[in-house]
Structure 1
């Protein structure tokens, strides 16, 4: 892993870790077809990234129409994150077994069907189920994007341009999703934040069938039990926290969910100790030097995803913003992220991962805490500029955070576990977002009302990046040149 680079997909694809794949193109592709193939793959990545944010602006409208409670509304976000994050620990190896092109085609097909089903949903349960299936499709497709991108490009300028487009898709995806979500919700209805994936997905499928080559397959053992146990443990925890907000902490349902989470966690540890290719190698948690950065990657998205979710509720349900105004208010977050994401690789060689990461995490803490003050003073006269400023600070912090944290995680991973480290890195991001949102939904519900509780909820949300700041700042070490 080069210093300052980011990883959003497992590197354990056909032919071994990314370092081996990067040495040469894995298949010969005509020059003109390489450009088309790269565009198809970047469009696929953009579609998957956009779907993590496009529903945020539509949440109030969905809640009103389908009868979601304040606590259950978060499941629209967490259902996608849990299935995506839990299954991506396994799906990179599935792509190795069946071929990354085939995995991408199957994943995108599942994603399209689930998107249409979500748009047609007439009940809350159907929509949440559709979002979970969307996450399954995304988990299967996402690892293959990077593997195929490396496989069809030649090392040097061609691959550098392709990776730059890939990073741009990741960086701009949130902004595209927030803007598109606002426009679609206000003009066509919330259903179109789901339906829009169908034409884009069909375009991806048509292009992939004609222009993407298949790469060599590789035999590997699948840790299905480990992936299932980790996903079940996190899902049970999220369900417990979400249910506690409505049922109470002493409810048998809540206590049962915590029991399932504990048993699943114990099962995960027992399985991973024996499996030759575990999805979550216990060696990563043998010392805080390696566990600290990994655990920080679990709590960083918990604050960031929650910021976007609760800011949407603040702007539309308290301040009376339209969906388009809400999207515009959150776009500066992504612009700030893109700016520092581009600057970070240039600063890392001089300042090191620890300094840049600590600075970024400090920005996250201050940005969320600032929004707590905005929520406390929110009223009819609150302007959109008041919301813009914390969003900018949070985006600047986020852009300076993920590259150094990811670089440290990958550098400290044993060579035989590089693929697992990359998968775990992305999986923890998705799972952490779902976990944080569930905890903070419980906090908001416990305050009694949306207007009075958002300030407290944002303040508690700031504790997540603060925890990451302590973990990363204490145990991260600068990567040698």
Structure 2
């Protein structure tokens, strides 16, 4: 929704979408819009939580399964590689077999892999399960946004649904850290994997019952583009996740970057020639689209960096337990919820550009404030000094992701909406890996945890600052979405 969007809800009320016109995405109605949105939001929350919940359990996993120091990182990296590598292809697959089918299949794979990971008796089995988890999440994730856009009417209804989606994205990482600490200390590390089953099964049942059937797009498969996109994303994620441990100039990292560059060149060549490309270049070539998309690369880098280095600050400098560390991040979630509730009301009056720029400014200020806290932190540091910047950062996140995501999705033509959703989520995954690699190198270069934490957090603020420039300067108000696409 933009400043030019109609602020009037559909005649049927907030939970009833108008009958879809001929040619619309939705062909068969199931359940209410509210129920369908709840299923989609819970699906997204499950995937986002899983990206962080395992971090707190890593020491226990290493002791029980006998991981080496280098091998332990693959518990995280395997998931990121599978998710990041397959996300662009998954958007195409979802448009071919139908978003609802892709979501159900992806969630089923994710749940089965989670149970297998919880039962793992060896390091190799756990890494394989994490890889399969990432593949399942990648298959389902683009369909969440596609269905969210398809089942909601433009205006307040879609804004509220998008706000709930953003709440899942923004709060999921912090919730994962808290849940990971509680589960690891009470039930054991295996429950950071098992917990996806009691969440995923209701999601599957809810999807079958409430999500609409959709039209499938009959297109010729883009084999070359699919292969190039997978290779490019895998190489980029591997390069960034390995750079912190191996060094930016190590042969594996340089080789991965070289493969990524060559794959991206091949992707462009393939997409220019194919009638139904995995990644449509026409959408990417528009500068109005490029700014918001690039901001979705750098903003998650800042948020992931903040959560990671704040965890180091609370546990290794202030001496917090894993559970207390999770509780210290609750204000971040509260700040996000507060602005998340206000954003749908403010968007019709102020527009995405103003709200998004204000949110990005809050992210910059919140991280910079935490950098000042970290620079003077010690055993006597009051927890209040950690909580206050967390509130500001959460408030900024709550006002950032909904407008930026709305601009990206509203600008995408109907035939490219699945590609836009996949690219939106793929860039977030890549941005998190990129930010953590860069910032870990900054920490090592500035004196390590004892002396460089404040400087590293200050460098973290550069990422949302870049997002503010990209979104604030390049983003332009877009016309109200055509209701024939809903």
Q: Is TM more than 0.5 here?
A: yes
In 2, Cα distance between equivalents of 1:73 and 1:380: 29
Asked if structure 1 preserves the Cα contact closer than 8 Å seen for 2:228 and 2:264, the reply is: yes
Compare 291-300 and 70-79 and name the one that shifted more.
70-79
* Residue aligning to 1:132: 131
Q: How far does the alpha carbon of each residue in 1:302-329 deviate from its partner, in whole angstroms, 9 at most, with x for none?
A: 1112211222222223322111111111
**1:14-413 equivalent positions in 2, closer than 5 A:** 26-29=27-30, 40-59=39-58, 61-62=60-61, 76-121=75-120, 126-145=125-144, 169-170=168-169, 173-174=172-173, 176-206=175-205, 208=207, 214-413=213-412
> 2:16 — aligned with what?
none
Q: Structure 1 pair 478/72, CA: closer, same or farther in 2 (3 Å)?
A: farther
Aligned length: 467
The change in CA–CA distance for 1:347 and 1:165 in structure 2 (over 3 A counts) is closer
Residue pair 2:88, 2:230 contacting (<8 A) in 1 also: no
Q: Distance in 2 between matches of 1:345 and 1:78?
A: 35
Shift of 1:106: 2.2
Listed one character per residue, the Cα deviations across residues 22-54 of structure 1 (whole Å, up to 9, x for unaligned) are: 9696324477xx877665555433322322332
Assess, with a 3 A threshold, how the Cα gap between structure 1 residues 356 and 260 changes in structure 2: closer, same or farther. same
In the alignment, which residue of structure 1 is the partner of 2:449? Answer: 450
Decide whether aligned partners of structure 1 residues 377 and 251 sit closer, same or farther in structure 2, where only a CA change above 3 A counts. Answer: same
CA distance 1:212–1:58, change in 2 (3 Å): same
Question: Structure 1 residues 208-217 or 453-462, which shifts more?
Answer: 208-217
| SS of residue matched to 2:329 | helix
Q: Distance in 2 between matches of 1:38 and 1:258?
A: 39
Of 219-228 and 424-433, the range deviating more from structure 2: 219-228
Computed over aligned residues only, the root mean square deviation of the Cα atoms, in angstroms, reads: 3.7
- The C-alpha deviation readout for 1:115-140, integer Å capped at 9, x for no partner, is 23333446666544433321211122
Structure 2 Cα separation of the partners of residues 138 and 124 of structure 1: 21
8 Å CA contact retained: 2:174, 2:307: no
User: Where does the alignment leave 5 or more consecutive residues of structure 1 unmatched?
Assistant: 6-17
Give the corresponding residue for 2:484. Answer: none
Q: Which string of whole-angstrom CA distances, capped at 9 and with x for unpartnered residues, describes residues 55-75 of structure 1?
A: 344345556666778887665
Q: 1:152 to 1:123 in 2, by over 3 A?
A: same
Q: 1:418 and 1:102 mapped to 2: Cα distance?
A: 16
SS of 1:51's equivalent?
A: helix
Unmatched tracts of structure 2, length 5 or more: 6-18, 481-486
Q: Give the distance between the partners of 1:447 and 1:167, measured in 2 at CA.
A: 34
Report what 2:15 is aligned to: none
Secondary structure class of the residue paired with 2:381: coil
- Whole-Å Cα distance in 1 between the matches of residues 175 and 117 of structure 2? 20
Task: Specify the alignment match of 2:8 in structure 1.
Answer: none
Once structures 1 and 2 are overlaid, which stretch shifts more, 427-436 or 293-302? 427-436
| Alpha-carbon distance in 2 for matches of 1:164, 1:212 | 19
Contact 2:363 2:464 in 1 (8 A): yes
Q: 2:68 and 2:439 mapped to 1: Cα distance?
A: 15
More deviation in 136-145 or 79-88? 79-88
TM-score, normalised to structure 2, is 0.82
Larger displacement relative to structure 2 (229-238 or 303-312):
229-238
**Would the aligned equivalents of 1:57 and 1:312 in 2 still touch at CA under 8 Å?**
no
> Taking structure 1 as reference, are residues 151 and 443 closer, same or farther at Cα in structure 2, changes over 3 Å only?
closer
3-state SS of paired residue (1:93): helix
| Residue 358 of structure 1, CA deviation | 1.7
2: CA distance between counterparts of 1:465 and 1:19? 38
CA contact (8 A) 1:49 1:174 kept: yes
Give distance in 1, aligned partners of 2:81 and 2:301.
Answer: 12
What CA deviation, in whole Å up to 9, does each residue of 1:338-371 have, x standing for no partner?
Answer: 2212212222233332222222111111222222
* C-alpha distance 160-364 of structure 1, shift in aligned 2 (>3 A): closer
Secondary structure of the equivalent of 1:26? strand
Shift of 1:218: 3.5
Q: Alignment partner of 2:418: what SS?
A: helix
